Amino acid sequence: GDSVTQMEGPVTLSEEAFLTINCTYTATGYPSLFWYVQYPGEGLQLLLKATKADDKGSNKGFEATYRKETTSFHLEKGSVQVSDSAVYFCALSDQGAPGNQFYFGTGTSLTVIP
């Protein structure tokens, strides 16, 4: 079945450091891939998405490229800020699944220190 595996945290970085959060997936069809961000006490917000192979999603300085050959969708940011501290979830949507189900990774907690 479909699944998402993402890098376990927590991750602690200094401000302006480079960020990579790894995400790999397993899917039977042709999934769309997403990164969501969750700030403390809030719901999940869409950060970026990619709907086909080699697409690059980007938003707020974050980027991720849909790599079909490695079944990966790693999240990167060149210079993190304290305000980026949050939990990040990788997800996929497989149109072949009943009810258009979404599959989420377990989340990676990021703390950025000044």
Q: Degrees (nearest 5) of the Cα angle 105, 6, 30?
A: 70
Residue 91 binds to another protein (criterion: CB under 8 A): yes
Stretch 69-88 residues interacting with another protein (CB under 8 A): none
Residue at token pair 């080699």: 54
- In three-state secondary structure terms, 100 is helix
Antiparallel, parallel or unpaired: β 32-38 and 44-50: antiparallel
Residue at token pair 């079944």: 71
Min. distance of Cβ 96 from another protein in angstroms?
A: 11
Min. distance of Cβ 18 from another protein in angstroms?
A: 25
Q: Closer CB to another protein, residue 46 or residue 113?
A: 46
**Could you tell me the two tokens for 84?**
């980026």
Binding map of another protein across residues 28-47, x = CB under 8 A, - = no contact: ----x-x-x----xxxxxx-
Residue 98 binds to another protein (criterion: CB under 8 A): yes
